[in-house]
Amino acid sequence: MMAREIGVPQIAPANRPELFGIDVVDQPYAGSAMIEYSYGLPPEPIENVPITEGFDPHSALQDNPTAALAIEQFLRTGVVETFCDGVCDPE
């Protein structure tokens, strides 16, 4: 995962706080950080193969209003903050 490689933390409340090597930080957070959205997908396979159940969520955030607000906030202020009610999900 790129976030672990470059040392970027995950914003709380975290969808998967147990991600190895990724710290969870409170928001608002000044600097680069990751916001992960939960789409209710099954756990990732242990092997290096793609998930075969559910759908591919990679383009789902482009139409998500809370994701757009978070991006705008970061670009304008350099602060990462979610605009979700709890853990971020598509609703």
pLDDT of residue 46: 87
When divided into structural domains, the chain yields a total of 1
In a domain, 60, yes or no: yes
Look up the pTM and report it. 0.81
In a domain, 69, yes or no: yes
End-to-end Cα separation, the chain, in angstroms: 25
Q: Is the distance from CB of 84 to CB of 36 less than 8 angstroms?
A: no
In a domain, 48, yes or no: no
Our CA angle for 28, 20, 70, nearest 5°, is 25
In a domain, 9, yes or no: yes
Q: Quick one: tokens of 72?
A: 């705008």
In a domain, 43, yes or no: no
In a domain, 29, yes or no: yes
Q: Is the distance from CB of 82 to CB of 72 less than 8 angstroms?
A: no
Domain boundaries, position 88: 1-38+56-91
pLDDT digits (tens, 9 = 90+) for 39-87: 888 888 889 998 888 888 888 888 899 999 999 999 999 999 999 999 9
In a domain, 11, yes or no: yes
